[in-house]
């Protein structure tokens, strides 16, 4: 069987795509998979690191607001449609999967026009522009939240949850390896700070302002900053001068990072939320308020209303984030409650169910 998986732009689109690919390979190791991404975007580096081949389309996204940048959009779209047609013709997939983001538009269109069945995976409770546009041609739409009939034809929808890489699912087996990788002491609590695949400015600035308080409390800190803040973070860590704090622009071994975390501070991107449910760590979520339709707050609220996570708003983070984290670290009972509640929301079979749906389309 041959499958094209297309999309990307951010980790929240790339990692579910990799999870689906891994699952297809687990079910049938002879499955041939080709990724199609957008030139210059994050997937062009992250997908090969996960062991898959990717080709890039010369595509740019359309901005939601009216801007001059949109003038070049039809031209680039035309070029990437031609390139997508060529890729489809040469690879001859049995099915094409779109995970949202720039590249999945032209690729799924080209596949549909050739009569190849397509499947869309939507990560959020609010559908992305590309996925909405592609829905009428898709045979199947796998979603993570109820109520997606508001965006997609009801008969095509299957509620599977978001596909998470299986190593993250089995993070608990990686505690020792994680301590070694991050050079941590077993006796101290550890805070894992994750800003999503690009890092989060508000979280970074809040941590910068209060890092000394973690150090004074004897807490170990794994701080993922994103590429744009890492040099500043290194200065901050050097100024604090404690071996308890480790800063990274990006963490490739998320299974090990979750494994060693006593608590997690995180943005509320859809995949981060799905992963936190699977690893069952007590979490403080700081939703990114400018995400379209404020969907990160909706993602976070789906946990908070079930007493499965704490929420600190972006606006209050500078004053409240460190204090909330220190209070949670001092309260093992609250940690246990959050952990057991968040686990009830996990969807451990999502990747398998989506892979099965992909395979059904080829029959």
Ligand X SMILES: CC(=O)N[C@H]1[C@@H](OP(=O)(O)OP(=O)(O)OC[C@H]2O[C@@H](n3ccc(=O)[nH]c3=O)[C@H](O)[C@@H]2O)O[C@H](CO)[C@@H](O)[C@@H]1O
By CB under 6 A, what part of segment 124-183 binds ligand X?
124
Looking at 52-60, 82-90, 287-295, 341-349, which segment touches ligand X (CB under 6 A)? 287-295
Given phi > 0 = left and psi -120 to 50 = alpha, else beta, which region is 229? alpha
- Tell me the per-residue interface mask from 296 to 335 with ligand X, x by CB under 6 A, - otherwise: x---------------------------------------
- Tell me the per-residue interface mask from 68 to 107 with ligand X, x by CB under 6 A, - otherwise: ----------------------------------------
Instruction: Out of 55, 144, 171, 254, name the contact with ligand X by CB under 6 A.
Output: 254
Between CA 18 and CA 55 the distance in angstroms is 15
The distance of closest approach from Cβ of residue 266 to ligand X in the complex, given in angstroms and rounded to an integer, is 7
Closest CB to ligand X among 21 and 88? 21
Between CA 107 and CA 110 the distance in angstroms is 5
Instruction: Out of 197, 220, 302, 324, name the contact with ligand X by CB under 6 A.
Output: 197
| Residue positions forming the annotated binding site for UDP-N-acetyl-alpha-D-glucosamine | 10-12, 124, 165, 197, 251, 270-275, 296
Closest CB to ligand X among 129 and 240? 129
Rounded to a whole number of angstroms, the CA Rg of the chain reads: 21
| Residue positions forming the annotated binding site | 10-12, 124, 165, 197, 251, 270-275, 296
Q: Do residues 107 and 117 make contact, with C-beta atoms less than 8 angstroms apart?
A: no
By the rule CB under 6 A, 119 interacts with ligand X: no
Closest CB to ligand X among 251 and 342? 251
Between CA 198 and CA 10 the distance in angstroms is 7
Burial 46-72, CB ≥16 within 10 A → b, else e: bbeebebebbbbbbbbbeeeeeeeeee
Given phi > 0 = left and psi -120 to 50 = alpha, else beta, which region is 52? beta
Distances (CA, A) of 282 to 143, 149, 207, 343: 25, 31, 18, 10
Instruction: Out of 275, 277, 297, 352, name the contact with ligand X by CB under 6 A.
Output: 275
User: DSSP character for 142?
Assistant: E
Instruction: Out of 4, 7, 15, 282, name the contact with ligand X by CB under 6 A.
Output: 15
Looking at 58-66, 142-150, 175-183, 193-201, which segment touches ligand X (CB under 6 A)? 193-201
Between CA 138 and CA 155 the distance in angstroms is 11
Q: Which two tokens stand for residue 144?
A: 């993570």
By the rule CB under 6 A, 265 interacts with ligand X: no
Closest CB to ligand X among 254 and 355? 254
Q: Which sign, positive or negative, has the C-alpha torsion 285, 289, 291, 292?
A: positive
Looking at 77-85, 88-96, 189-197, 278-286, which segment touches ligand X (CB under 6 A)? 189-197
By the rule CB under 6 A, 282 interacts with ligand X: no
By the rule CB under 6 A, 270 interacts with ligand X: yes
CA torsion 299-24-109-37 (nearest 10°) is 70
Looking at 130-138, 184-192, 265-273, 306-314, which segment touches ligand X (CB under 6 A)? 265-273
Q: Do residues 105 and 131 make contact, with C-beta atoms less than 8 angstroms apart?
A: no
By the rule CB under 6 A, 220 interacts with ligand X: no
Q: Which helix (H) or strand (E) holds 57?
A: strand 53-57
By the rule CB under 6 A, 194 interacts with ligand X: yes
By the rule CB under 6 A, 10 interacts with ligand X: yes
**SS3 call for 32:** strand
Between CA 8 and CA 19 the distance in angstroms is 13
Instruction: Out of 6, 272, 297, 324, name the contact with ligand X by CB under 6 A.
Output: 272
Looking at 6-14, 110-118, 148-156, 230-238, which segment touches ligand X (CB under 6 A)? 6-14
Could you list the residues that contact ligand X (CB under 6 A)?
10-13, 15, 123-124, 194, 196-197, 224, 250-251, 254, 267, 269-272, 275, 288, 291, 295-296
């Amino acid at each position: 069987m041959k499958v094209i998986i297309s999309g990307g732009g951010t980790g929240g689109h790339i990692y579910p795509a990799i999870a689906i690919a891994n699952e297809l390979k687990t079910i049938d190791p002879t499955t041939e998979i080709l990724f199609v991404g957008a030139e210059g975007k994050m997937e062009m580096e992250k997908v090969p690191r996960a062991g898959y081949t990717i080709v890039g389309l010369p595509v740019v996204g359309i901005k939601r607001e009216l801007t001059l940048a949109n003038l070049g959009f039809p031209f680039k779209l035309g070029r990437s449609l031609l390139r997508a047609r060529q890729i489809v013709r040469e690879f001859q997939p049995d099915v094409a999967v779109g995970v949202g983001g720039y590249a999945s538009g032209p690729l799924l269109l080209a596949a549909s026009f050739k009569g190849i069945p397509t499947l869309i995976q939507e990560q959020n409770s609010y559908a992305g522009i590309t996925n909405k546009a592609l829905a009428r041609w898709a045979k199947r739409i796998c979603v993570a939240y109820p109520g997606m009939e508001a965006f997609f034809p009801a008969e095509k929808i299957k509620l599977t949850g978001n596909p998470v890489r299986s190593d993250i699912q089995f993070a608990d087996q990686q505690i020792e390896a994680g301590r070694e990788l991050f050079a941590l002491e077993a006796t101290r609590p550890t805070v894992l700070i994750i800003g999503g695949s690009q890092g989060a400015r508000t979280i970074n600035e809040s941590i910068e302002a209060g890092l000394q308080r973690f150090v004074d409390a004897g807490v170990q800190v794994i701080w993922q900053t994103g590429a744009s803040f890492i040099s500043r973070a290194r200065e901050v860590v050097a100024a604090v001068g404690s071996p308890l704090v480790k800063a990274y622009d990006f963490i490739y071994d998320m299974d090990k990072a979750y494994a060693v975390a006593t608590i997690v501070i995180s943005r509320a991107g859809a995949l981060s939320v799905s992963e936190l449910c699977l690893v069952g760590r007590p979490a403080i979520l700081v939703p990114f308020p400018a995400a379209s339709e404020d969907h990160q707050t909706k993602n976070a609220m789906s946990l908070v209303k079930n007493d499965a996570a704490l929420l600190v708003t972006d606006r209050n983070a500078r004053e409240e984030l460190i204090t909330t984290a220190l209070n949670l670290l001092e309260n093992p009972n609250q940690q246990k409650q959050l952990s057991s509640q968040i686990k009830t929301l996990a969807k451990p079979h999502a990747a398998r169910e989506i892979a099965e749906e992909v395979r059904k389309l080829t029959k």
